[in-house]
Amino acid sequence: MKRVLSLLLLASFIFTSCSKSNNSSGSDSPANYIENKGSDTIVNLALAWAEKYQGDHPEVRISVTGGGSGTGIAALVNGTVDIANASRKIKDEETSEAQSNGITPVEHIIARDAIAVIVNPENPVNELTLQQISDIYSGKYKNWNEVGGEDRPIVRLSRETNSGTHVYFLETVLRLGNKEDKTFFSTSTLLLPSSEGIISEVRDNPNAIGYDGLGYVPKDLKMIAIAKKVGEPYVLPSIDTVNDKSYAIARDLYMYTNGAPVGIIKDYLDWILSDEAQQIVADLGFVPAIK
C-alpha cells in the first residue's frame, strides 16, 4: 500500500510539474498567442505587422487569417478570436448580439484606405463621377459608350457580400451615402471572393470594371479619377488625396477587441499605432492612421 501511495504521489508531482511548464512563459502558451481574423483588405497588412512584431518579440505568436470583415466580426461575437479585422464599422445588430454573448466590442482605427475604381488599360475611360459609377453598378448603364467609352458591354465586378469593402461600396457609392436609398448591385454583377480575383479579371477583360483597396492595385491596371459631383475636380486615390479629403471613396480600417485590450494584445495594438508600424501601412499602399 505504501508503494502504491508513493507511486501515485510521484505521478501527481510529474503531472503538476508538466502542467506548470506547459502554461508558463513558452511561446505556445495561450498568454502569448493572438488570434487575428477578418477583412481581406487588411490581411496583407496584418500579416506584415505580425511578421515584424514576432521577429522582435519571439515569445509571441500571432495567427492571421482573412475571410472577410463579416467573418472576423462573427468570430469576435462568438468569442473565438482575440482581434477582429474589419474594413467597415461593426453594425448595431452585431454589437447587440455580441453583448448578449457577454462580449463588449471595442473599436480601434488602425489605418485608412482609399477604394480605387479600376479598369483595363485598353479602356479609354479615365474619369467618372460618383453618380456615373452608381449608375454603372446598379445596371442603369450597360455599355461603355454611355459614359464616353467605346461600344462595349460593361462587365461589373464586385467583392462578395461578406466583404466589408462590398458593404462600404454599396453604401457610399451605389447609394451615395443616402441611408434611405435602396439601390442594389445589378444582378449581372460578378461577385468575386478576393481582391486578387478582381485584379485578375480586370487585367484579362477590357470590358471589366472593378474596385479594390488602393494597396492592392498593381501598376499595370488603370485607376479611374473620380469627381464627387458634376463640375467638381476629378481626383485619383493617393495618401495625400485621402488625407485632404479630396478623394471621394476613402474610409477608416478597424480592429475590434473584446473590451479594452490588456496584456500582449494591448502591447501589440499600441505597437500597431507606432511610427514603425504605420510606416509599414504606407509602404503597402495604405494610409497611416491619423493620430
pLDDT along the chain (291 residues), means of 10: 41 35 40 94 96 97 95 97 96 97 98 96 98 98 98 97 93 95 96 93 98 92 97 96 94 97 97 97 91 61
Per-domain residue ranges of the chain: 31-112+253-283, 114-250
Residues in the chain, total: 291
pLDDT reported for residue 262: 96
d(CA 275, CA 271): 8
Same CATH topology for 31-112+253-283 and 114-250: the answer is yes
Beta bridge mates, 252: 112
pLDDT reported for residue 30: 67
CATH number of 114-250: 3.40.190.10
User: Looking at residue 236, what DSSP letter applies?
Assistant: -
Contacts within 8 Å (CB) and 24+ apart, 230-236? 230/129, 230/131, 234/126, 234/127
What architecture does CATH give domain 31-112+253-283?
3-Layer(aba) Sandwich (3.40)
pLDDT reported for residue 107: 98
With beta carbons less than 8 A apart as the criterion, state whether 48 and 75 touch.
Answer: no
With beta carbons less than 8 A apart as the criterion, state whether 229 and 273 touch.
Answer: no
SS3 of 106, please?
strand
Dihedral sign, Cα of residue 104, residue 107, residue 110, residue 116 = positive
